[in-house]
Amino acid sequence: GAVVSQHPSWVICKSGTSVKIECRSLDFQATTMFWYRQFPKQSLMLMATSNEGSKATYEQGVEKDKFLINHASLTLSTLTVTSAHPEDSSFYICSAETGLTNEKLFFGSGTQLSVL
Amino acid sequence: QKEVEQDPGPLSVPEGAIVSLNCTYSNSAFQYFMWYRQYSRKGPELLMYTYSSGNKEDGRFTAQVDKSSKYISLFIRDSQPSDSATYLCAMRSNTGNQFYFGTGTSLTVIP
């Protein structure tokens, strides 16, 4: 299957700092990437849809000024959590779609963010 | 009504048992169906992918789609302790680019 690389795997930061998470499609070009947030023992919560070269589309209730998404190339999307606070602590996962009609979704390994 | 319904479990079975995991959905436009396996604190891994109705088999895994009933299943034969994980179903339609996920079923295979 297609490989999506996500870094870092985990990060601990102080409240008020910004954290950048990278998501790369290693062996395919991803015109669309998705960012999810997942709380313990809960399912994936879609945060935003990121299309290469255009502004991300955020889901209702997700602050676009806090969660900055940049999809500068067909293989890289980044999520920056700005001025992080303890309530932003969560597991963040990126995914990219591929296939002839973009019908398959492949996920990164996730990033555990802990804000102190 | 949620787009996709999935029993969260938890489901606990002895090693070697046959496991049946299921999802129901409400949108008849869904055409692409996927099953993912997620280990704790890891990203979901694509296990099975099916287009439209029918069965698909891959080793110990069989995916079934019944579009008339809006019901999909994943069967795991000869279950192993390493199969212990959360299983997520996902689906999407031909139009739009959003994938819809079930809440996940937590499975434990006891040695």
B75 has pLDDT over 70: yes
Interval B39-63 mean pLDDT: 93
pLDDT of residue A99: 66
Q: Look over chain B and give the mean of its residue pLDDT values, rounded to a whole number.
A: 93
Residue A102 and residue B97: Cβ atoms within 8 Å? Answer: yes
Q: Residue B38 above 90 pLDDT?
A: yes
Q: Which residue has the higher pLDDT, A29 or B17?
A: B17
Separation CA B16–CA B110 (nearest Å): 9
Residue percentage of chain B with pLDDT more than 70: 99
Under DSSP, is residue A114 helix (H, G, I), strand (E, B) or coil? strand
CA distance B111 to B108: 10
Tell the burial category of A6 from Cβ atoms under 10 Å away from its Cβ (0-12, 13-18, 19+): buried
Residue B63 has pLDDT above 90, yes or no: yes
pLDDT at B95: 80
Q: What is the pLDDT of residue A100?
A: 62
B81, pLDDT greater than 80: yes
Q: Which of residues 51-80 of A touch B (CB under 8 A)?
A: none
According to DSSP, the β-strands at B100-101 and A111-115 are unpaired
> A28 touching B, CB under 8 A?
no
- Closest chain A C-alpha to B15 CA, distance in angstroms: 23
Q: What is the mean pLDDT of residues A8-34?
A: 93
pLDDT bin (cut points 50, 70, 90) of residue A52 is confident
Q: Which of A1, A101, A110 sits opposite B43 (nearest CB)?
A: A110
The share of chain A scoring above pLDDT 90, in percent, equals 70
Q: What is the DSSP string of A56-81?
A: PEEPTT--TTTEEEEEEETTEEEEEE
User: Which of B25 and A71 is assigned the larger pLDDT?
Assistant: B25
User: Residue B27 — pLDDT band, cuts 50, 70, 90?
Assistant: very high
pLDDT tens digits, residue range A76-114? 999 999 999 999 999 999 999 876 666 788 999 999 999
3-state secondary structure chain B: CCCEEECCCCEEEECCCCEEEEEEECCCCEEEEEEEEECCCCCCEEEEEEECCEEEEECCEEEEEECCCCEEEEEECCCCHHHCEEEEEEEEECCCCCCEECCCEEEEEEC
